[in-house]
Structure 1
Amino acid sequence: MRLVSHPVLCNYYVTYRCNASCSFCDIWERPSPYVTLENARQNLRDLKKLGVRVIDFTGGEPLLHRQLPDLLREAKQLGFITTVTTNALLYPKQAETLRGLVDMLHFSLDSPIAEEHDRSRGVRCFDKVIESIAIARNLGERPDILFTVFDHNVQQIRQLHEEICLPNDLVLILNPVFDYNSVETGDRFSEDALRQMSWWGKQKNVYLNDAFVQLRRDGGNHVGNPVCRAGSTTIVISPENKLVLPCYHLGLKDFAIDGQLYELYRSDDVQKLVALEGRLPGCEGCAINCYMQPSFAVEVNKYWWKALPSTLKYNWIKGTWKQLV
Structure 2
Amino acid sequence: MRLRSKPVLCNYYVTYRCNAKCSFCDIWERPSPYITLEDVAQNLRDLKRLGVQVIDFTGGEPLLHRQIDQMLGMAHDMGFITTLTTNAMLYPKLAQRLKGKVDMLHFSLDSADKEEHDRGRGVACYDFVMESIKVARELGERPDILFTVFRHNLHQLEEVYQKIILPNKLVLILNPAFEYNQVETGEQLTPEELRYLSDFGKRRQVYLNEGFVQLRLDGGNKTAKPVCRAASTTLVISPENELILPCYHLGTQSFPISGNLYDLYLSQEVEALKRQEGRLPACEGCTINCYMQPSFATELSTYFWKALPSTLKYNYLKGTWKRLI
Whether these two folds match at TM > 0.5 is yes
What's the offset of the Cα at 1:156? 1.2
- 1:151, distance to aligned residue in structure 2 (A): 1.6
Q: Is the 1:246–1:253 Cα contact (8 Å) retained in structure 2?
A: yes
Q: Which residue of 1 aligns with 2:97?
A: 97
* 8 Å Cα contact 1:154/1:196 also seen in 2: no
Q: What is residue 66 of structure 1 aligned with on the other side?
A: 66
* Cα distance, 1:225 vs structure 2: 0.3
**Matched AA of 1:2:** R
The reply to whether residue 3 of structure 1 matches residue 3 of structure 2 is: yes
* Matched residue count: 325
Name the SS for the 2:84 alignment partner: strand
Match of 1:153, SS state, is helix
Matched, 1:260 2:260: yes
Q: Give the conservation status (yes or no) of the 8 Å contact 1:198–1:208.
A: yes
For residues 148 and 76 of structure 2, what CA distance do their matches in structure 1 show?
28
1:229 aligns with 2:239: no
- Whole-Å separation in 2 of the counterparts to 1:166 and 1:62: 27
Structure 1: 5+ residue runs without aligned partners?
Answer: none
Displacement of 1:155 in angstroms is 1.7
Per the TM alignment, residue 188 of structure 1 is displaced from its structure 2 partner at its CA by: 1.1
Could you say which residue in structure 1 is the equivalent of 2:311?
311
Q: Which residue identity lines up with residue 210 of structure 2 in the other structure?
A: D
Deviations 1:131-156 (A, max 9, x none): 00000000000000000001222121
Quick one: distance in 2 between partners of 1:198 and 1:309? 12
SS for the counterpart of 1:43 is helix
The alignment's C-alpha RMSD in Å is 0.5
Residue 30 (str. 1) matches residue 43 (str. 2): no
Q: Does 1:156 align with 2:156?
A: yes
SS in 1 for 2:152: coil
Distance in 1 between residues matched to 2:175 and 2:55, nearest whole Å: 19
Secondary structure, aligned partner of 1:152: helix
- For 1:158 and 1:311, the matched residues in 2 are separated by 22
Q: For the residues of structure 1 that align with 2:44 and 2:119, how far apart are their CA atoms?
A: 37
* 1:192 to partner: Cα distance: 1.6
Secondary structure, in 3 states, of the residue corresponding to 2:175?
strand
Give SS of 2:105's match.
strand
Q: Tell me the distance in 2 between the aligned counterparts of 1:180 and 1:5.
A: 27
For residues 52 and 197 of structure 1, the distance between their equivalents in structure 2, rounded to whole angstroms, comes to 31
1:1-325 matches, within 5 Å, as 1-325=1-325
**CA shift digits 1:94-121 (9 cap, x unpaired):** 0000000000000000111000000000
Unmatched 5+ stretches in structure 2: none
Amino acid at match of 1:54: V
Q: Deviations over 1:158-201 (max 9, x none)?
A: 11000000000000000000000010111211112101110011
Distance in 2 of aligned mates of 1:178 and 1:310: 20
AA of the residue aligned to 1:80? F
Equivalent residue of 2:88, what SS?
A: coil
State the alpha-carbon separation in 2 of the partners of residues 278 and 230 from structure 1. Answer: 7
Tell me the distance in 2 between the aligned counterparts of 1:110 and 1:64: 21
For 2:55 and 2:233, how far apart are their aligned partners in 1?
A: 12
Deviates more, 1:125-134 or 1:69-78: 69-78
Looking at structure 2, the residues matched to 71 and 244 of structure 1 have their Cα atoms a distance apart, in angstroms, of 20
- The amino acid that maps onto 1:182 is Q
Q: Give the Cα separation in 1 of the matches to 2:156 and 2:111.
A: 7
Q: Quick one: which amino acid aligns to residue 220 of structure 1?
A: G
CA distance in 1, matches of 2:93, 2:116: 24
Q: Structure 1 CA distance, aligned partners of 2:134 and 2:64?
A: 21
Which consecutive segments of 4 or more residues in structure 1 shift more than 4 A?
none
- Secondary structure at 2:151 match in 1: coil
1:147 aligned counterpart, secondary structure: strand
Tell me which amino acid in the other structure corresponds to 1:158: E
Q: State how far apart, in whole Å, the 1-side matches of 2:193 and 2:163 are.
A: 21
- Give distance in 1, aligned partners of 2:111 and 2:219: 27
Q: Using the alignment, how far apart are the partners of 2:73 and 2:53 within structure 1?
A: 15
1:142 and 1:77 mapped to 2: Cα distance?
19
**Pairwise CA distance, 1:207:** 0.3
